[in-house]
Amino acid sequence: MEVLKNSFSGNVYLATIAGVDRVKENVFELNYFVHIVSLGKTIVIRTSTPKTSPRVDTIIDIMPGAFSAEAEIYDLFGVEFVGNRYLRRGFFVPLDVASQGTHPLRKDAQV
């Protein structure tokens, strides 16, 4: 992300991050939708993390707007964004669901 941002003189912004539970692959896929202002285009950067240890590095130091998207993915899927000290349960889901340890967008979740 940092290389991308620097390549366009900082004229990029994160539109959102979409999480996908890929059951067959046993991973969570993360799709970062990044808009490049000078090109008027949005690109998707895709990565994945194993469901057994769902962790990726935060990008809030590069793109501060990632805060809410990372918090949402953490709360709904349980993917930890290493370095984001603001993550907590109950940000996007009701506290009673969060207190059960349930991440409601996981396909195996019992809500």
Residues 45-102 pLDDT 10s? 999 999 999 999 999 999 999 999 999 999 999 999 999 999 999 989 999 888 998 8
CATH architecture of 2-99: 2-Layer Sandwich (3.30)
CA atoms of 58 and 84, how far apart (whole Å) = 6
Confidence of residue 111 (pLDDT cuts 50, 70, 90): low
Sign of the alpha-carbon torsion through 65, 71, 76, 79: positive
Report the pLDDT averaged over residues 13-17.
Answer: 97
> Which residue type is seen at 17?
I
pTM of the model: 0.92
- Predicted local distance difference test score (pLDDT) of residue 21: 98
Q: Are 103 and 75 in contact (CB under 8 A)?
A: yes
